[in-house]
Structure 1
Amino acid sequence: MKSLASWMVSSRQRVYWIFLVLISTLSLALWYNHVTKLDVTVMANTGLRGYIRITSGKKDQFLDIHCKECALVSSSGQMLKAGKGKEIDKLDCVIRMNNAPTVGYEHDVGSRTTLRVVSHTSVPLLLKNETYYFRQSEGTVYVIWGPERNMRQDGKGQIFNVLLRTAKKYPQVKLYAVTREKIQYCDGLFQNETGKNRMQSGAFLSTGFFTMVLAMDMCDSIQVYGMISNDYCSQANHTAVPYHYYEKGRMDECRMYRVHERARRGGHRFITEKAIYGRWAAHKKMEFKHPSWTEREKVS
């Protein structure tokens, strides 16, 4: 009888341990499933959090793009007769600004456009040719920046409302807005670099500034085309070119830069911004290909 009782106790212990193992396995499986789902949720919300999708669908979609080598192509008249089109198109991603065209200028500026950074003031220019920008070029990503009064999302942001209607009309087009927090971050960058509060100094950051910041966010290395150095216009032998390569007959680039640099209110500090880019280039994989800043330094 003692042997039988001992056997029964031993059996109960085995059942007990088997039960514990099953419970532990089930708990581990539930934990793993929870973690896996959590990881998927986190992955779905990754991306560049300063740039949010403009859509009538799911909110809080951030720009998710990464490129090894980027061509950042300025709208400057420096690109006329540059002959850099093939060189630009060979890079992984090509970044352009506002409504700068490629058709008819392919030899100089290339034909590919991965992403455009667009000022709130240039949105109407895109809509004037919406068939080209939002149908023929639907693979392009558009990142729009603007002040809070125009980009607010409570129904009172005039430009944001226009962009939201555009997103509904062309749901396949990727439209993103620079967030208020990112614009404040860019203001902070400007102040850190210059010691001046942007708003108090009466300056507006240029589309080029927002484009450069985004390029540093999304690219491992950047090759810049069309941007002149901060001392270019002070050189006696500098070349006079149009402010934009696609707008002939307007004020030349250096004169436009000087007017804005001296403006008490509402000016872009183009020359100051170029000095900032030069300092960033010393710490980033950034090269100014045309005009070449290094070649000009050798000459001067």
Structure 2
Amino acid sequence: MGQRLVDKQGQQSQRMVIFGAIFLLMTLLILYSSNSGSEIIYGPFHVATNHHSIKTTDLRKWAGKDGYVAVYGNKNMTLHCHHCALVTSSSHVLGTHSGPEIDRTECVIRMNDAPTFGYEADVGNRTSLRVVAHSSVFRVARRPGEFLNRMGNTVVIFWGPPNKIGKEAKGTLYRLIQRVSMTYSNLSSFAIAPNKMRRFDNLFQKETGRDRVKTNVFFKGIHLKHESQTGLSLHFNRQKSQSWLSTGWFTMVIAIEICDNIKVYGMVPSSHCGRKPQPKKMPYHYYKPRGPDECVMYLQNERSRRGPHHRFITEKHVFARWAKQYNITFTHPTW
């Protein structure tokens, strides 16, 4: 009886040792994963480690003005500039006193509803081209005098799902864009055509080495084998990676299409938010001082695996590679 009790106690002790070893091993694995994750999030999410997976594209040959559809009238997208200033919406432009230099540039490119009024000393006053996402249409249309009618002729390119801004859809956003285009005679408005949207999407996948998601799916009983003019299949392409193109992506590609030389103001490099010590907190937009911190926004979008997010850091990694090919320079900060 005593021997059995001793054996039982020995077995229990042995099991406790085993359980303890397993617990310790699991703890070490969790700590290792956490530490590894904190390093990975600073790197680009999409760029493949196997360079053979990345297919570089000659954007000079890729470019084509036929992908832009006039919102009103029979205008063609013919803008071409030898020198362009691409002014970002980043708060890094504040305090740079770059306004006069920007205004002296042949063509000035801005994004969404980034204002110039009140910020002229740092971002200038002229606008040659403004690239506007479908999500910013209402903000731009609410104050067209500020964004669309400042000085001289302005080109505006709207991008988004064709079922929102496409000519065939004739939805609320399209009617609003059309009404604004009819009001201002010095304004040339274009929407990116569905086939051009597909090319922007394909370009992202080729330049990052990310596999394409097949669009041979069903949606509400409709079989979609290819990109349709509803814009739904474009979203299917992003469901696996949960990555959505940003206005910055569209603007940079369009700038390469129309500009021989590009100077970018306020864009940080892909490594910026991973620096040690941590960079100074900066508002995401220069015109929203109480808005979210830029690096918090970048990192949350880059590492998120749930819900649609932009991959800002990945895009900047690609931009750095393009800079060597397409005469792109970066200032404030310089990189």
Same fold (TM over 0.5): yes
Matched residue SS, 2:292: strand
Equivalent residue, structure 2, for 1:278? 320
Map of 1:247 onto structure 2: 288
Structure whose CA Rg is larger? 1
Contact 2:125 2:150 in 1 (8 A): no
SS across alignment from 2:201: helix
Q: Which residue of 1 aligns with 2:251?
A: 211
Counting aligned pairs with the same residue, the percent is: 43
Structure-2 separation of matches of 1:256 and 1:185:
27
- Aligned match of 2:144 in 130, 148, 158? 130
Which moved further from structure 2: 80-89 or 158-167?
A: 158-167
1:64-89 deviation per Cα after TM superposition (whole angstroms, max 9, x unaligned) = 11100100010001111122112211
Which structure is higher in strand share?
1
2:173 aligned with 1:159: yes
Query: Which runs of 5 or more residues in structure 2 are unaligned?
Result: 1-63, 213-236
Structure 1, unmatched stretches of 5+, are 1-46, 294-300
**Structure 2: how far apart are the matches of 1:62 and 1:128?**
26
TM-score if structure 1 supplies the norm length?
0.77
TM-score, length of structure 2 as denominator length: 0.69
Shift of 1:136: 4.2
- Alpha carbon RMSD of aligned pairs, Å? 1.7
- CA deviation map 1:109-145 (0-9, x unaligned): 1111111001111110012112333444562211110
One-letter identity of the residue aligned with 1:247: K
User: Structure 1 143/108 Cα, relative in aligned 2: closer, same or farther at 3 Å?
Assistant: same
Whole-angstrom distance in 2 between the partners of 1:165 and 1:111 = 24
Between 183-192 and 135-144, the greater mean CA deviation after superposition? 135-144
Give the equivalent residue in structure 1 for 2:275. 235
CA distance in 1 between counterparts of 2:247 and 2:87 reads 12
Q: Is the 8 A contact 1:155 1:161 kept in 2?
A: no
Pairing of 1:1-300 with structure 2 (within 5 A): 48-55=65-72, 57-58=73-74, 61-137=75-151, 139-196=153-210, 197=212, 199=238, 200-237=240-277, 238-263=279-304, 264-293=306-335
Tell whether the 8 Å contact from 1:70 to 1:222 is kept in structure 2 after alignment.
Answer: yes
What whole-Å deviation, never above 9, does each CA across 1:180-228 have from its counterpart, x for those lacking one? 1221111111101212246131111000000000000000010011111
The structure whose RCO (Cα within 8 Å, separation 6+) is larger is 2
- Give how far 1:168 is off: 2.8
Contact 2:115 2:147 in 1 (8 A): no
